[in-house]
Amino acid sequence: MYLNAAILAAVVLAYSAVAGRVGRSWLSGPILFTAAGLVLGPGGLGLLRLGLTAADLRTVAELALAMVLFTDAAHADIGVVRRTVGLPQRLLLLGLPLTIVFGFAAALLVFPGLDPLEAALLATLLAPTDAALGAPVVTSKTVPPAIREALNLESGLNDGICVPVVVILLDFAVGREIAGSTLRHILAVAAEEIGIGLLAGVVLTVLAVVLLRLAARLGWTGAHWRHIPVVALAALCFTAAQALGGSGFIACFTGGLLFGSLRQDQEDDLLAGAASTGEVLALLTWIVFGGPVLGRLLPLFTWQTLLYAALSLTVIRMLPVFLSLRGTPIGRPERLFVGWFGPRGLASIVFAVIVFDAGLPGKETVAATAACTVLLSVIAHGMTANPLVRMMGQRA
């Protein structure tokens, strides 16, 4: 146990010393931590033996995603979003469903042995994007604000939207008894996941802001506790929504958007703790992904998994985005840019674990394909983020 902890601490310490330089290069934190997991894990030197279960991986990935969603949403420029021509709405209401449909059709063609419901699950769990894998794209001022904020909002909301779809498909795939009509069940699940998530995010964030401002006015808050409340609030939004039967991801993103719009100038530093916590948890998830997860799933990679992964990152994502943005002032190069930067990351890992735990006949194919897609995304989007951002700057 202590050796594992020492190795993880050493890797985090080493990365923290060079994080700024890495952020300006063609590498990224997820690339380095995934590589560290591969080298140090069971498939490499065998020094890192974490012995984590699928549930452990899901918990770490979910908490990391909760922190990232909350802080990304809190930093979103709502004014820019209001002035855009509906880019986030087009990506979520047109691009996302088309991505799932294209992914479903491709899964049936590439994996003829998969059950249609398993093919639909594979398409859905690989539909959400993870903007953190191409961080420069959503943080660099070189990228036009409308594109930057559209990608950020898309990444924040599409995983929450996909949660009820995954839940519904799993209910049918495992033969769970459904009370009432199919349509009523679908509407009930969607209403619960999205409605409870929205309500939890709004109510908890408003209460937290009122509490924090009252405590600050009375001088009750200690300076060394200043960065802790937002960490706790993000965790509370996620866990409370999940416990009530809603989507914790929607709760975190909604709470983050509201917190960002309510916070005052002197409260900007409140987000630092949650941002750092989310980044560390995310990087630890990547080292686990590179070690135990890939160590187990790499032998299951086939030409079909590689083909589907390549299609998922290109045609399955880029064509729906290109079509959904037709009729907007955004030019063809910018539409291709938005289409390419749809990385697959933490949300896909979480959904893949959920599907794997359900014990479906095609679970190994689904898990291996998801892992292959995420691995290719970590490498491809991490390596192309800075070069393409610079190219975008030259066009401006």
- pLDDT confidence bin for 127, thresholds 50/70/90: very high
Report which of 295, 298, 278, 299 is spatially closest to residue 346, judged by C-alpha positions: 278
- The proportion of the chain whose per-residue pLDDT surpasses 90, expressed as a percent, equals 51
The mean pLDDT of 48-52, rounded to a whole number, is: 81
Position 125 pLDDT exceeds 90 = yes
By three-state DSSP, how is residue 84 classified?
coil
> According to the model, what pLDDT value does residue 225 have?
83
Most distant CA atoms of the chain, gap in Å: 65
Poorest-pLDDT segment among 92-96, 217-221, 386-390? 217-221
Residues 133 and 382: beta-carbon distance below 8 Å: yes
Least confident piece of the model among 55-69, 162-176, 241-255: 162-176
The answer to whether 343 and 134 are in contact (CB under 8 A) is yes
pLDDT band at 1 (very low <50, low <70, confident <90, very high): confident
Closest alpha carbon to 356 in 55, 39, 5, 30 = 55
Q: Stretch 364-391: mean pLDDT, rounded? A: 94
Percent of the chain with pLDDT over 70: 94
Provide the CATH number for the domain around residue 125: 1.20.1530.20
Q: Which residue has the higher pLDDT, 67 or 275?
A: 67
Q: Please compute the mean of the pLDDT values over residues 116-143 and round it to a whole number.
A: 92
More confident site: 267 or 345? 345
The predicted model gives 189-212 an average pLDDT of 92
H/E stretch holding 170 reads helix 145-173
Q: What is residue 112's predicted lDDT score, i.e. its pLDDT?
A: 95
Q: How confident is the prediction for the chain on average, in pLDDT?
A: 89
The one-letter amino acid code at 291 reads G
**Residue 396 banded pLDDT, cuts 50, 70, 90:** low
The pLDDT, as a whole number, for residue 242 is 94
Place of tokens 């005052």: 264
Q: What's the whole-number mean pLDDT along residues 15-26?
A: 90
Confidence of residue 270 (pLDDT cuts 50, 70, 90): confident
Instruction: Report residue 295's pLDDT band, with 50, 70 and 90 as the boundaries.
Output: confident
Q: Is the pLDDT of residue 150 over 70?
A: yes
11: phi then psi, degrees, rounded to nearest 5: -65, -45
Place 181 in a pLDDT band, splitting at 50, 70 and 90.
low
CA angle, 105 then 355 then 277, to 5°:
110
Q: What is the pLDDT of residue 37?
A: 93
pLDDT surpasses 90 at 160: no
Residue 217 confidence (pLDDT):
87
Dihedral (Cα; 335, 340, 346, 351), 10-degree rounding: 80
The whole-angstrom distance between residue 335's C-alpha and the CA centroid of its chain comes to 21
Mean pLDDT of 35-64: 86
Q: Long-range contacts made by residues 304-308, C-beta under 8 angstroms, separation at least 24?
A: 304/110, 304/111, 304/369, 305/365, 305/368, 305/369, 305/372, 306/372, 307/110, 308/106, 308/107, 308/110, 308/111, 308/122, 308/369, 308/372, 308/373
Q: Is the pLDDT of residue 345 over 70?
A: yes
The count of structural domains within the chain is 1
Predicted local confidence at residue 178, as pLDDT: 57
Q: How confident is the model at residue 264 (pLDDT cuts 50, 70, 90)?
A: low
Provide the domain limits for residue 186: 2-395
pLDDT digits (tens, 9 = 90+) for 51-77: 777 788 888 899 999 999 998 888 877
pLDDT score at 146: 86
Q: How confident is the model at residue 83 (pLDDT cuts 50, 70, 90)?
A: low
